Chains A and B, each alone.
Chain A
Amino acid sequence: MTSGIRFDAVSVAYGGTTVLDRLDLTVEPGEVMALLGPSGSGKTTALRAVAGFVRPASGRVLIGDRDVTGLPPYKRGIGMVVQQYALFPHLRVEANVAFGLKAQKVPKGEIPGRVAEALGMTGMAAYAHRYPRELSGGQQQRVAIARALAIRPKVLLLDEPLSALDAQLRSGMLAELARLHRELPDVSILYVTHDQVEALTLADRIAVMDKARLQDCGTPQDLYRRPRTEFTASFVGNANLLPVTVGTEGVVFDGTELKVGVSGAAPGSAATLCFRPHLVGLGEGPNPLRGQIVEVQWRGSTHRLYVDVGGHRVKADVRELRETPSPGTEVTLHFAPEDAVLLGAGVNDGR
């Protein structure tokens, strides 16, 4: 049996401040939905509304076909993993994993088998007799995941589960989570994160949130290649945004004609041109942009250049340069027409 999650116009307010504003979102059964956004965007509040730790001011939360809005957390049948692990410090690993099974009065004979199964899935079987304080951060997070999986939830809520881990461990755990999801295709997962790499890697769909609202929702490829809003474009992939005027065969930026697809846009209207820093080339090419280097950051395999083009700062990630150009140098950047996306009116500088 599978069941998804549905937010039906869910609003949450703390003392007059709206932290979640009429969220409508459906997580299909078996789907991984990432809630992506900066801190304070309402993503964690949305997750906590599913878990039952915040009560919506209005709207409904459904798990499967069941309206759980008024149900206490322990009646919701969810698994949850949080950033700080929240393992019970007074219980050994196996007792931590068995906790939910005992609380739900699973027959005694079944418990050891299910604990072993959950610990096996997360590769923690060898640590069953340890206390949480004797484990590293990554191991503790695996136990926390095992504990959430042991109760065989239909819905798994992950609240920034990898944020407390270092970068290397994080990419390893990301692969683990992807594998777990392949092994448990029926479990719907709501994954809250501020990290676009985590969201792009793991999610079937991403819901982008900002300022208590849902900004955009779509598959990772969609959001990345064809963002619909400026916020999505700049938050997912950190795109360059330039204010342009739509022409007949391209757009005009700062008096320069740029050739990009303008399908549907009315000639003469204002729009925003969006292109990714890593798809920008240095030197002459199609759609040249001339400007002055403002800042150079060496990032190992790449150089990031900040170039002032007609008063707007354009970011370019180019392969490591033999000679680092100094600020003030005149350079020419270019990008391919097919790498650019035209968005509707309004722009905020691209910084």
Chain B
Amino acid sequence: MLVHSRTGRWTAWVTFAVLFVPLFALPLLVIVAASFSTNWSGAFPSGPTTGHYAAAVRGEALQALTTSLVTALVASLVALTAGTWAALAGAALGRKGKRVLDALFMLPVAVPSVVVGLAVLVAFSQPPVLLNGTRWIVILAHTVLVTAFAHQSVSAAIQRLDPMYEQAAASLGARPSYVLLRVRLPLLLPSLNAAAGLCFALSMGELSATMMLYPPDWMPLPVLVFTATDRGSLFTGSALAVVLMATTLLALLAVSRIRTKASFR
């Protein structure tokens, strides 16, 4: 503990609570409370029920949850592969080339996601590559959006990687491909893992680009949350939101468990 005096420690905790509770904890707690109620006209919700959850885990809602999970999984895997590949290539380039590559990969983050959604929609609404109306256009948009984050975090990790490991491997007679598979990627594993978690979480929560693209048979959960609350079904929407939140957290927890197993230093 950096703060040594007793009063200092108390002040630190109180400041933390004052900042954390209203900003981060309360909004989430409100959603959880709303998801269990049927009426909220006073200061507190009333009419406790679990009915919203019963609805949230079957039919259309369950469909939306699996849609979100599959989209996030595919998009993160593709993004991680493409992002890592590009980061490795960038590391091998000169300083100028790397800067250009980094800037290109940052574009989808710099551009509002609505614009990315529109761009994907316009680009793939006509042959030769006609994806509009299929699930692939949603997955594609998510991939474009999250690849930037994968590339950035893997790129930073590669920069921190000490070249002496690579050189030791090369001096032992290992070809570059062997060094990549047996030394560099294993050493990057913790970062790859973190990047995968980040991509997954971002994709699970993506709404604005998805709204412009989703076909009727591929509606991710955030869209369902939005339409439910838009219709006025605030409590159903809350239950769906809690399901979305819990699933994402569980997935991240699972990923972080792999990460602790894979970190060596």
Chain A residues near B264 (CB-CB < 8 A): 89-90, 131, 133
Given A90-B186, A99-B182, A82-B164 contact (CB < 8 Å): yes
A246 interface residue per 8 A CB criterion: no
Chain B residues near A53 (CB-CB < 8 A): 167, 170
A119 interface residue per 8 A CB criterion: no
> What band does the interface of chain A fall in when counting residues whose beta carbon is under 8 Å from B?
20 to 34
> Which residue of chain A has its CB nearest to the CB of B183?
A88
Q: How far is the CB of A208 from chain B (nearest CB, A)?
A: 26
Q: How far is the CB of A43 from chain B (nearest CB, A)?
A: 17
B20 interface residue per 8 A CB criterion: no
Interface-located stretch among B8-16, B144-152, B173-181, B252-260: B173-181
Q: Are B169 and A103 in contact (CB under 8 A)?
A: yes
Chain B residues near A72 (CB-CB < 8 A): 170
Chain B residues near A157 (CB-CB < 8 A): 171
> What band does the interface of chain B fall in when counting residues whose beta carbon is under 8 Å from A?
20 to 34
> Which residue of chain A has its CB nearest to the CB of B172?
A100
| Assembly CA distance A80 to B186 (angstroms) | 22
Given A80-B168, A84-B164, A86-B165, A74-B265 contact (CB < 8 Å): no
Chain B residues near A80 (CB-CB < 8 A): 167-168, 171
Chain B residues near A89 (CB-CB < 8 A): 187, 264-265
Q: Are B187 and A74 in contact (CB under 8 A)?
A: no
| Assembly CA distance A199 to B187 (angstroms) | 35
Bits for A77-105, please: 1 = Cβ < 8 Å to B, else 0.
11110101011111000000001100110
Q: Are A151 and B167 in contact (CB under 8 A)?
A: no
Q: Are B265 and A51 in contact (CB under 8 A)?
A: no
A73 interface residue per 8 A CB criterion: yes
Chain B residues near A87 (CB-CB < 8 A): 168
Point out the residue from B171, B178, B186 that lies within 8 Å of A73, measured CB to CB. B171
Q: How far is the CB of A219 from chain B (nearest CB, A)?
A: 29
| Assembly CA distance A290 to B183 (angstroms) | 64
Chain A residues near B175 (CB-CB < 8 A): 74, 103
| Assembly CA distance A76 to B176 (angstroms) | 14
Q: Are A99 and B172 in contact (CB under 8 A)?
A: yes
> Which residue of chain B has its CB nearest to the CB of A150?
B172
Given A80-B168, A90-B264, A131-B264, A104-B183 contact (CB < 8 Å): no
The 9 A-B pairs at the shortest CB distance, nearest first, are namely A100-B172, A103-B174, A80-B171, A86-B168, A73-B170, A86-B164, A104-B173, A89-B264, A90-B186
Give 11 pairs: A residue, B residue, CB < 8 Å, sorted on A: A74-B173, A76-B171, A80-B168, A86-B167, A99-B182, A100-B172, A103-B175, A103-B178, A104-B173, A147-B168, A151-B172
Residues of B within 8 A of A (CB): 162, 164-165, 167-176, 178, 182-183, 186-187, 189, 264-265
